[in-house]
Amino acid sequence: MALQLALHPAARQEIVAAGEWYEEQRPGLGEAFARWLTTAIDRICSQPYIYPLLGQGLHRTIPGRFPYQIIYRVQDHLIVVVSVFHERGDPAALAARLAGRLGDH
């Protein structure tokens, strides 16, 4: 049974910004990014424990086509996506979010 999904507000912002950036680069690429992300998140929701633990109950997957990692945690019957982090993003900002300084979803 697939779990429900929640996006941390910062993860939601990352997704929107990435989709807009890709669409500006080439029409249709933003839509391709959205499909890729939907497929990756569907896989997470259906099998949340197959991806490695980072610690503090956080899991990470690096699905491939786009240079992003999806970081999430499982809470009761909920998957909380904490970050959709670009591989060249600011690691300090990610560390701050993972440490909980930005709050929960």
Q: What is the pLDDT of residues 89-101, one digit of tens each?
A: 888 888 877 776 4
4-98 CATH fold? YaeB-like fold (3.30.2310)
Convert the pLDDT of each residue in 55-64 to its tens digit. 888 999 988 8
The pLDDT of residue 99 is: 77
pTM here is 0.85
Mind listing the pLDDT tens digit for each residue in 33-81? 999 999 999 999 999 999 999 888 899 998 888 999 999 999 888 999 9
Q: What is the pLDDT of residue 51?
A: 93
Is the pLDDT reported for residue 102 higher than 80? Answer: no
Report in angstroms the alpha-carbon separations of 36 from 15, 31, 57, 62: 11, 9, 24, 12
Domain boundaries, the chain: 4-98
